[in-house]
Each structure stands twice: as C-alpha cells, then as structure tokens.
Structure 1
Amino acid sequence: MAKKSKVVKELKRQALVEKYAEKRRELKAKGDYEALQKLPRDSSVTRLHSRCLVSGRPRGYLSKYKVSRIVFRELAHQGRIPGVKKASW
C-alpha cells in the first residue's frame, strides 16, 4: 500500500490538470509561452503519474485495467476480471 500522502498528492495534481486544461490549450494555440510558464507546474499533464486504483502503487501499472501487477494477479485468481484466466500448457 502506498503512502496516503502520495496518493492524495497525485489526486490534487489530477484536479489541477483538469482545472487548467482549457486555459493551457488556448495559450498553446496562441503561442503565449510566457503565460504558460506562469501557470502552476502541477497543472501540466506530463507531471501526472499512473497509480493503481486499489493500492496506489506507482510501479508495475497495467493501464488497460488501471491496477498494479500485484493487484491484477490477485483479482485474476479470484475470477473478478472477466475474460482473464490462468495460462496452462
């Protein structure tokens, strides 16, 4: 389980990105890079990092399922992910 502070910080970043998305798009279209620099740093999309929805883990993230590899394995073994079954040959 990730630290709660890291998960909360990432959620705040996501909120900032959504808040400034339209303004950022307009400034880029105009070519006003000085105004872009005055926006908050965390309002940039590139500062976001994908985290597992269940555990908050930042590494081993499977974007299709939005969970980490560890949580994915647990859910797959429990049969909670439709269409996924353990390979055997």
Structure 2
Amino acid sequence: MAKKSLIQRENKRQKLEQKYHLIRRSSKKKISKVSSLSSSERWEIQVKLQSLPRNSAPIRLHRRCFLTGRPRANYRDFGLSGHILREMVYACLLPGATRSSW
C-alpha cells in the first residue's frame, strides 16, 4: 500500500492538470505556429507557459494502481498493478483473463 501523502499529492497534480489544460494547450498551439510569429511574441508565450504551476504539466502525472496506489507495473487496460492483477486472475475475478499454465 502506498503512502497516503503520495496518493494525495498525485490527486492534487491531477486537479491542477485539469485546471490549466486549456491554457497550456492553447499556448502550445500558438508556439507551433512559429513561422508567423516574431521571436518576441514567441518569447512572451513561453514566459506565460513557464509561469504556470510546475505540477500542472501532464508529464508529471503518474499512473497508480486503483486498489493499492502502487506507482509501478501498472496495466492501463485494468488500472491495476501486476501483482494485484495476477491475484485477481487466479481468483477468477477478471472475466476473459486466463491463467498461464504449461
């Protein structure tokens, strides 16, 4: 089980990312049209982007296990970490997933 403080920090980052998503996306679109902008206009847009909170960047989000909060070995399809997924498959709690046997 992950520490509660780390899970809360991740939730805070998700909220910040949702809050500043539109501002960040529009600024990125403006920068991508670099040929029509002068260097000073581009610089102003970059300053605006850098003034946003650091934790509002989507790259800082980390996927966590739905049950345990584990940050590593997560499967996107299920939202679970590897060992929890394996336990659920062995307990026949995931339909369509089969155990490996050879």
Give the shorter-chain TM-score range. over 0.9
Partner Cα separation in structure 1 for residue 17 and residue 93 of structure 2: 32
Structure 2 gap ranges (5+): 32-44
Aligned CA-pair RMSD: 0.9
Q: Which has the larger radius of gyration?
A: 2
Q: How many residues align?
A: 89
Partner Cα separation in structure 1 for residue 17 and residue 95 of structure 2: 32
After TM superposition, what 4+ stretches of structure 1 lie above 2 angstroms from structure 2? none
The higher relative CO (CA closer than 8 Å, separation ≥ 6) is in 2
Question: % of aligned pairs identical?
Answer: 43
1:62 lines up with 2:75 in the alignment: yes
1:1-89 alignment runs, 5 A limit: 1-31=1-31, 32-89=45-102
Q: How high is the TM-score relative to the length of structure 2?
A: 0.82
Partner Cα separation in structure 1 for residue 100 and residue 62 of structure 2: 30
